C-alpha cells in the first residue's frame, strides 16, 4: 500500500513539474511564456532595427572623413571622427537662419490648426444641429480625398488673392479655416476624443452658470490634453516635412535673405547650394572639401535633428496621450 501511494505521489510531482515547465515555455492566460516572449522580443528587435538602421548609418557616415569613405573596411565606425562635414553643411544650408524660419512656418500654423480643429471637433461631438450628418459625411469625404486634388485649387485661389508672396499667409489662413495639412484627420481625432468626454461634466458646468464658450475652455479643452499632444506632434511634423506645397506657397522667387524657407527645401537644393558656396570658397578650400556622401548625410541629420529632439522631449507625454486617446497614428 505504501509503495502504491509513493508511486502516485511521484507521478503527481512529475505531472506538476511538467505543467510548471509547460507554463514557463508556452505561458498561460495570465502570463506569456518563454517562447511567446522570445517571438515578441525578436519581432520588436527586427522591426526596431529596420527603423533605426538608416538613422545609425546616416549618423555614422556623416562623421567620416573622406579617407574613411574610400576605405571599404570602415563601414560603420570611422577611424577618426570629424565634424568638418557638419560645418560645411551648416554653411551651405545657412542652417541657423533657415532653422528659425522653418520653426516659424511650422509652429504658427500648428498652433492655429490645433485650436481650430479642437473647436470644430468639439462642436460636432457636443451639439446637434441641422445637417450634422451631411457635414460629417463631407468631412469624411475630405479626409479620404488625397491632398493633391485640392493643392492646385488652393494654389490658384491664393494666386488670385496675390498671397503667393513668400509669406506665411497661405499656411495661416488654411489652418484657421480648417484646411491645413490633414486638418480633417485632426478634426476627427478631436471629435472622437470629445465624444468620450462625460457630458455630465459639461452639463454641471452649465448649471453652475458657465456658457458654451466657458464650458469649452474650462472643461472640454483641459480634458483633451491627450488629443492636443497627439495633434500638435503630428501637425508639427507634417508642416516641417512638407516640401511641395511649401515650395508653391512660398513662391519660386524668394531667397534666404528676403523670403521664408525651410530646412527641407534647403536639403532638396543642397547640392546646388554647395556648388555655389564652393565657388565662393574656392580660394580657401582644397579638393577634399568638395561635396561627398558624408556632407550630404550631415545635412540630412541637421534637417531632422529638431524633429528628433522634439520627439525625445515629448516622448513620454506622446505615448501616454496615444494610449489615452486611442490613436494609432500614421
Complete DSSP assignment for 86-119: HHHHHHHHTHHHHHHHHHHHHHHHHHHHHHHHHH
Give CA 192 to chain center in angstroms.
20
Reference 150, options 190, 192, 178, 191; nearest CA is: 178
CA distance readout (Å), 199 to 212, 216, 260:
13, 12, 44
Q: What is the pLDDT of residue 249?
A: 80
> What is the grid cell recorded at 174?
488654411
Tracing cell 450634422 back to the chain, one arrives at 132
Q: Are 239 and 105 within 8 A, CB to CB?
A: yes
Q: Which three cell numbers stand for residue 231?
A: 495633434
**CA–CA distance from 167 to each of 152, 171, 247, 261, 296 (Å)?**
18, 9, 11, 10, 28
What is the pLDDT at residue 142? Answer: 81
For residue 27, the cross-strand partners are 32
Side-chain half-sphere CA neighbours of 22 within 13 A: 8
Question: How does DSSP classify residue 197?
Answer: S
pLDDT of residue 263: 84
Asked if 236 and 110 count as a contact pair (C-beta separation under 8 A), the reply is yes
> Coil, strand or helix: which one is 316?
helix
Which helix (H) or strand (E) element contains residue 281?
A: helix 270-281
Neighbour-count burial of 106, counting CB atoms closer than 10 A to its CB (0-12 exposed, 13-18 middle, 19+ buried) = buried
In which residue ranges of the chain is pLDDT below 70? Answer: 1-30, 32-34, 72-74, 251-258, 272-291, 317-330
Topology of domain 94-265 in CATH is MetI-like fold (1.10.3720)
Domain ranges of the chain: 31-93+269-295, 94-265
Phi-psi region of 182 (alpha: psi -120 to 50; beta: other; left: phi over 0): left
Q: Give the C-alpha separation, 324 to 100, whole Å.
A: 33
**From CA 36, how far away is CA 42, in angstroms rounded?**
10
> Exposed, middle or buried, 304 (CB in 10 Å: 0-12/13-18/19+)?
middle
Residue 116: Cβ within 10 Å count: 20
Three-state secondary structure call for residue 32: strand
pLDDT value at residue 281: 52
Q: Report d(CA 166, CA 253) in Å as an integer.
A: 8
Amino acid at each position: 500500500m505504501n509503495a502504491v501511494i509513493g508511486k502516485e505521489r511521484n507521478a503527481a510531482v512529475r505531472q506538476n513539474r511538467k505543467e510548471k515547465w509547460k507554463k514557463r515555455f508556452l505561458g498561460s492566460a495570465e502570463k506569456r511564456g518563454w517562447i511567446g516572449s522570445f517571438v515578441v522580443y525578436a519581432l520588436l528587435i527586427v522591426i526596431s532595427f529596420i527603423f533605426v538602421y538608416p538613422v545609425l548609418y546616416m549618423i555614422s557616415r556623416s562623421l567620416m572623413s573622406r579617407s574613411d569613405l574610400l576605405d571599404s573596411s570602415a563601414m560603420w565606425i570611422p577611424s577618426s571622427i570629424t565634424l568638418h562635414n557638419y560645418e560645411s553643411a551648416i554653411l551651405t544650408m545657412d542652417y541657423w537662419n533657415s532653422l528659425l524660419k522653418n520653426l516659424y512656418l511650422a509652429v504658427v500654423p500648428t498652433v492655429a490648426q490645433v485650436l481650430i480643429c479642437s473647436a470644430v471637433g468639439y462642436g460636432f461631438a457636443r451639439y446637434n444641429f441641422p445637417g450634422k450628418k451631411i457635414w460629417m459625411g463631407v468631412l469624411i469625404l475630405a479626409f479620404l480625398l488625397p491632398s493633391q486634388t485640392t493643392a492646385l485649387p488652393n494654389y490658384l485661389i491664393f494666386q488670385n488673392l496675390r498671397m503667393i508672396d513668400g509669406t506665411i499667409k497661405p499656411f495661416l489662413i488654411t489652418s484657421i479655416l480648417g484646411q491645413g495639412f490633414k486638418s480633417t484627420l485632426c478634426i476627427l481625432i478631436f471629435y472622437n476624443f470629445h465624444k468620450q468626454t462625460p457630458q455630465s461634466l459639461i452639463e454641471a458646468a452649465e448649471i453652475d452658470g458657465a456658457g458654451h464658450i466657458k464650458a469649452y475652455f474650462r472643461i472640454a479643452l483641459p480634458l483633451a490634453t491627450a488629443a492636443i499632444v497627439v495633434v500638435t506632434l503630428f501637425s508639427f511634423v507634417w508642416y516641417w516635412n512638407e516640401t511641395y506645397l511649401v515650395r508653391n506657397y512660398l513662391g519660386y522667387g524668394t531667397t534666404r535673405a528676403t523670403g521664408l524657407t525651410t530646412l527641407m527645401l534647403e536639403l532638396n537644393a543642397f547640392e546646388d547650394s554647395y556648388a555655389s558656396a564652393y565657388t565662393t570658397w574656392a580660394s580657401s578650400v582644397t579638393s577634399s572639401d568638395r561635396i561627398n556622401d558624408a556632407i550630404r548625410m550631415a545635412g540630412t541629420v541637421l534637417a531632422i535633428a529638431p524633429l528628433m529632439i522634439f520627439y525625445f522631449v515629448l516622448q513620454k507625454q506622446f505615448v501616454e496621450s496615444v494610449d489615452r486617446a486611442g490613436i494609432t497614428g500614421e
